[in-house]
Structure 1
């Protein structure tokens, strides 16, 4: 597949922001997310709120969400997921209607920094960039447990230790904070996965345009809310196991675009990196360091077990 033209990478790119929501329980967080879009230094041309099979939420959002950006020159559209699927379908429903050159995806429980879009758009000045993602930083409802290693912040949908510290190519963007050229996403029919839509987008982009087409910019930041209910071992181990079990079906759906090597490299690098960092922490007197390394090993073992379970299903 040919790359988007140089003209499409010009600084005057227009952006459509897409937020998906499925529950009224996160209404306050959703409103914060939408307000953060209105506060951007680079204003989007439109904001889509795509509601995932919740009529009550759709009706309330239709009444109240446009007023949140009434003082901004941003068109607000509240729509419903037209597919039977969940998050992937909700995002595709909005992508098919959007007009922006770039589609920027923000989770309903994440608030973007004011320069979030400005940074993402600037990265598209490089015509090689087809998908660009930023760093979702965790905003914990209660203090971060000391037993959770930074390599495992992916469990919460957040940036983790091991991602590039400067802008550059990456194998896997994070769904709470990612963007893509609209023409590229629609060329393969939008999202083909619900629970692994960020992996789906990243691998399809790399397969179609090359590994350097997927770019991570740690300076494009959103604050991703992590409720206290997720700071438990029960939540942690289930995420490690079931996310990786589900990836098996997602990889099958990717066909030739799948890249299992990326997942294997992540595991090996995490073990090596964690040993170095936690070894230094222990030398500095942090008695939780061996606990975190043990948790990291357990997380990778749970991921491998989940992958095996997925293959045996």
Structure 2
């Protein structure tokens, strides 16, 4: 059986206790499990909670203080502390399903993939708008390009700790703006690594009220686009006309779907994404999204 380190980066989020309890209920399929908690606060604020949870979990808990307010510092601390065959990342505001880890490892072993992504299903509050729930704008799935996954995310992923990727680290320059996971997995695939998908490796994430807004979705899509534009290779003068055409097309589709609450917003968010791509290509500075107290 494989050994797996489960890594959780945290920053002042009490929901971490729920995440750990769900991990304690895992169907391990005989795999050896250890949990790494990287506390990204200036003070070791998560340590009391982790110490309390040690007696409630059937797996060893390893606490790392990794200050401060830069998610890449915490992610890299998890990479440094990892010792197992595989390293899995999950966020501190998520709950894993019983089969989550077994499904990730099973897919990795069957396909020999370097990394395996799982789905993140959003759980909406009762106050969320009907269009948001119906369109499911917050759930996370991998993006396939011509049948291949070229990059990934850290909210639900398993990484095989091969010699070729063990030296990879998250870029601290992206640790406050976001996009560090996209950058990391682009570099992983550039090294010849492969990314697969395990649809049964389900994780659920409650959507806080402050994220259940169109304004939050716009900021998120803009940041996604900026990250993609920053990481694009090639001459901006060649790429910008294509990006501009996509912005105009999505703007047109927004108008044509004006009477559809879901499609209108979906098309508008696509336009915002491409505006972000253009900004990234042009070197526009990204806003800082990390380093603030998290929603509970």
Q: TM-score range by the shorter chain?
A: 0.7 to 0.9
2:22 to 36, 48, 66: 36
**What's the CA shift for 1:218?**
1.3
1:204 to 164, 170, 187: 187
1:137/1:209 CA distance change after superposition, 3 Å: same
Q: Does 1:181 align with 2:160?
A: yes
The size of the alignment, in residue pairs, is 262
**What's the CA shift for 1:184?**
5.4
Q: Is the 8 A contact 2:17 2:49 kept in 1?
A: no
Unaligned runs of 5+ residues in structure 1 are 1-11, 283-287
Stretch of structure 1 that moved more, 49-58 or 111-120: 49-58
Q: Is the 8 A contact 1:95 1:182 kept in 2?
A: no
Q: Is the 8 A contact 2:151 2:189 kept in 1?
A: no
1:63/1:75 CA distance change after superposition, 3 Å: closer
1:151/1:312 CA distance change after superposition, 3 Å: farther
1:150/1:200 CA distance change after superposition, 3 Å: farther
When you count helix as a share of all residues, which structure comes out higher? 1
Alignment RMSD, CA only?
3.3
**What's the CA shift for 1:237?**
1.6
**What's the CA shift for 1:179?**
1.3
The aligned counterpart of 1:90 is: 74
The aligned counterpart of 2:197 is: 216
Deviations 1:189-212 (A, max 9, x none): 3222431233123212222225xx
SS in 2 for 1:45: strand
Q: Does 1:21 align with 2:13?
A: no
1:309 to 273, 276, 279: 279
**What's the CA shift for 1:144?**
4.3
Q: Map residues 29-68 of structure 1 onto 2, 5 A cutoff.
A: 29-42=15-28, 44-68=32-56
Q: Map residues 232-271 of structure 1 onto 2, 5 A cutoff.
A: 232-249=213-230, 251=231
Q: Is the 8 A contact 2:42 2:69 kept in 1?
A: no
**What's the CA shift for 1:34?**
0.6
The aligned counterpart of 2:294 is: none
SS in 1 for 2:84: coil
Q: Is the 8 A contact 2:18 2:95 kept in 1?
A: yes
1:169/1:304 CA distance change after superposition, 3 Å: closer
Distance in 2, matches of 1:45 and 1:149, equals 35
**What TM-score does the superposition give when structure 2 sets the normalisation length?**
0.76
Distance in 2, matches of 1:133 and 1:216, equals 5
Deviations 1:93-134 (A, max 9, x none): 011111111000010010100010100111121353000010
Q: Is the 8 A contact 1:40 1:115 kept in 2?
A: yes
Q: Is the 8 A contact 1:147 1:291 kept in 2?
A: yes
Q: Is the 8 A contact 2:170 2:184 kept in 1?
A: yes
Distance in 2, matches of 1:242 and 1:176, equals 17
Q: Is the 8 A contact 2:94 2:203 kept in 1?
A: yes
Deviations 1:160-212 (A, max 9, x none): 5x857xxx8423333211111123575343222431233123212222225xx
